[in-house]
Structure 1
């Protein structure tokens, strides 16, 4: 089949990485899968013209609202992959809620990353329950062998007392205002370093050389960064929100914090307790291997897309 895959494709973001992985899964069995950036289109009529021009036979979209709304009224069958923003944020807005319900009604199937995400969606749109499948993100890490971590580190109260402690924030600047605020605060905090996005294999190498990975998001669907750290044998400290708590058992496969004070306390506990670190790393690795298999994800999407024929 000729497949259209709509997603938010800002470079080096989780959405772009997930979309690229799904594209690879589908092309591995002979489909032609074309990735298009949802931000490049304003309305369904533009996508209808694209479908006609490129003779797409079916479509997938990541995010019920951001991508799915563009497939409304589509003349080809389509499936939807829930994003965290759908359930955590967009569902709160009346018009977005209405649009998402209409998209879900048209979709042949929908994919949720967790049981919790499915239940939240089914509570809002009960008639769609039977078409929502659960498929966790599949993880495969490939650390670069040539990445030079030291060139990024120069010389927060914690850092002044313990100069070997550094916090490195890596990623693309998506929201200009928020980026400006982060830059301003980071510039006043010795030991905090901001880096632009880097290739995934370099990012994996960087993570591998860190003592721990921190996820401080206030809204998550399923964080691939957390899962990648687990696969790389690196402990994770994450904010205690539903998306993170769905993949981390506190003091078992990672550490969950609720405020900055608890973050520091848990970080110090992890640094001073090698047995806790070993336990978390071992159990997290086993969890990823069991529940986030790249091969299982590949098979699942290859089977789901058959519903679009």
Structure 2
């Protein structure tokens, strides 16, 4: 921020992670709420105080949903008129060079009938709030009964200590695998080849992985937490589960009910087209950034 020529304005993602870095920058700025801000960081007195200072100083703040805005207003001292609601716009790009077979082999998935393997892909950064081990035991039990189902966990190693815990737990399990992180285009290709997208987070703001899966024509199975329930309508645009056992029950139903699968895919794609248009998002942010002049 001190380089020449100096920046005229800034936009930060996450009030605590990003916004705090702009408090002494001396330029007007806006901020975008992350789910971590109002679901996790607000529990810490120091972080909450910093986020309130960021909100006080920022020209505007953006929340992805009405519920996220309402929660911010409940938990943080802030001016309501400062917070705008703008859903994430979604654009997906699939890598043309991606090899599904190579990806499965590198990940460790071995099956005599590789083309019949049904991969449930859990996309998340490896940190505790994403709870990637939530389904480990029940999925391993299910895999023992049906070797053609596999759960692949993929995402960046954000928390080194927790990553080690995940790696060790996966090694002791069957039917559950940990894949090396991919570029976004390769990840979208892997999602497109998978059977379903899984979310098991303890809390969410607005999961980009869920939205990307819908855009790519992939059924979604998401843990029933407020952030997920705000974008996934149960048995319409996806499936919401409240326990590991319920996840397996719904997954089995999805495997055997082609009509349900087609309905979720069709409605999910329609939802993205209607509610997560990237052009509308672009115009909204351009208007907000103009207020920083």
Considering the TM-score relative to the shorter chain, is it more than 0.5? yes
TM-score band (shorter)?
0.7 to 0.9
Q: Which residue of 2 aligns with 1:174?
A: 158
Q: Which residue of 2 aligns with 1:203?
A: 187
Post-superposition shift, 1:263? 0.5
Q: Is residue 2:180 matched to residue 1:229?
A: no
Aligned pair partner of 1:96 in 47, 50, 55: 47
Post-superposition shift, 1:253? 0.5
Post-superposition shift, 1:98? 1.3
The answer to whether the 8 Å contact 1:173/1:196 transfers is: no
Aligned pair partner of 1:135 in 58, 61, 86: 86
Post-superposition shift, 1:74? 3.6
Query: In 2, distance between residues paired with 1:225 and 1:120?
Result: 22
Summarize the Cα distance change of 1:190–1:124 in structure 2 as closer, same or farther, 3 Å threshold.
closer
The answer to whether the 8 Å contact 1:111/1:133 transfers is: yes
Aligned residue runs from structure 1 range 1-309, under 5 A? 50-51=1-2, 53-125=4-76, 127-153=78-104, 154-155=109-110, 156-309=140-293
Post-superposition shift, 1:51? 3.1
- Greater mean alpha carbon deviation, residues 126-135 or residues 60-69: 126-135
Post-superposition shift, 1:255? 0.5
CA RMSD, Structure 1 to Structure 2 (Å): 1.3
Query: In 1, distance between residues paired with 2:153 and 2:100?
Result: 13
Post-superposition shift, 1:145? 2.2
Query: In 2, distance between residues paired with 1:93 and 1:190?
Result: 37
Summarize the Cα distance change of 1:127–1:190 in structure 2 as closer, same or farther, 3 Å threshold.
closer
5+ residue gaps in structure 2? 111-139
Post-superposition shift, 1:271? 0.8
Give the TM-score taking structure 2 as reference length.
0.85
Query: In 1, distance between residues paired with 2:235 and 2:198?
Result: 15
Three-state SS of the structure 2 residue aligned to 1:119 is helix
5+ residue gaps in structure 1? 1-49
Q: Aligned residues, how many?
A: 260
Post-superposition shift, 1:73? 4.0
Query: In 2, distance between residues paired with 1:73 and 1:151?
Result: 48
